[in-house]
Copies of this chain bind each other. A is one copy, B any other.
């Protein structure tokens, strides 16, 4: 049997409502008494009963994150970041790897104060919506769902900016290496941004402008680059569509003894700190994870306070972080 405020009250010779107030740092209790009680509580090893607290206060100070597909690592950096932000807000985060529906049910039971959903192409059914009505939820991912607010990233602009940046450094032969499976709208958006910039800048699109890796792994970038290098024309700059692909690109370039950025500039999409710790610290575009994380968490916090407080879609603007992988070029 755990020790309760009643035990403390008895020991301290006060009523248990006073103990409750003291422990909650209420101004309604004399400082002396407060100090005495708090001290005593600690001595006695008091631990508040959360269930009881929740029963009356209807708040759990925890938010639930639904992540149905842990096997996709890409998001773990973001999740780690979100966890930190949540902790800073003195909330706790619990994670569920079940289906959205099952997770939602569980979170409801736990009375979490808010939910973050990582969609992963999941379309929600009516019955899932039912639950959502009551509990503040935001989602990260593809917009177009009108159920709850979405935090989105302007992928198109990221690639658009990347091209302009390289162009301004004098690059004209730019190759974009990425995965363009039409199933992933984010990849398509990036591609669109690339094309748009090319068009505006009057750069010619040819066989070497874009390489479809057909995969998102390190190795896919590696192979694509190796093949690219065997062809007659070598680009002066390469853009990698993800962290993994970009590291494959670097690897291939290094093996071919091509200097970065002296001979070829490389720019990567994604804005995670790891970009800076690659063999060659990579100049990159993308919304910094840290920013995505704080936007998600802040939006949710607002939503918890006021249901109508945030817009249904927030699109974050990518930033370009210069490191050492891109340089001016003289050649056209």
List the interface of chain A (C-beta within 8 A of B).
47, 49-52, 54-55, 62, 70-71, 73, 76-77, 79-80, 83, 87, 92-98, 102, 106, 108-111, 217-219, 222, 251
The chain B residue with its CB closest to the CB of A67 is B95
What are 29 A-B interface contacts by the 8 Å CB criterion? A50-B111, A51-B51, A51-B52, A51-B54, A51-B55, A70-B70, A70-B76, A70-B79, A70-B80, A71-B73, A71-B76, A71-B80, A73-B76, A79-B97, A83-B98, A87-B102, A92-B96, A92-B98, A92-B106, A93-B96, A93-B98, A94-B94, A94-B95, A94-B96, A95-B96, A110-B110, A217-B218, A218-B218, A218-B219
Q: When A73-B71, A96-B95, A251-B219 are in contact, do A50 and B83 touch as well, CB less than 8 Å?
A: no
Task: Collect the chain B residues with CB atoms within 8 Å of residue A94's CB.
Answer: 94-96, 106, 110
Task: Collect the chain B residues with CB atoms within 8 Å of residue A70's CB.
Answer: 70, 76, 79-80
In contact, B71 and A77 (Cβ under 8 angstroms): yes
Q: Give the docked Cα–Cα distance between A92 and B96 (Å).
A: 9
**Known A51-B51, A94-B110, A95-B97; further 11 A-B contacts with Cβ < 8 A:** A50-B111, A51-B55, A51-B111, A70-B76, A71-B73, A92-B96, A92-B98, A93-B98, A110-B110, A218-B219, A219-B251
The chain B residue with its CB closest to the CB of A83 is B97
Q: Give the docked Cα–Cα distance between A77 and B97 (Å).
A: 12
Task: Collect the chain B residues with CB atoms within 8 Å of residue A52's CB.
Answer: 51, 55
The chain B residue with its CB closest to the CB of A97 is B83
Task: Collect the chain B residues with CB atoms within 8 Å of residue A109's CB.
Answer: 50
Task: Collect the chain B residues with CB atoms within 8 Å of residue A71's CB.
Answer: 73, 76-77, 80
Q: Give the docked Cα–Cα distance between A219 and B52 (Å).
A: 52
Most B CB atoms within 10 A — which of A50, A73, A77, A87?
Answer: A50
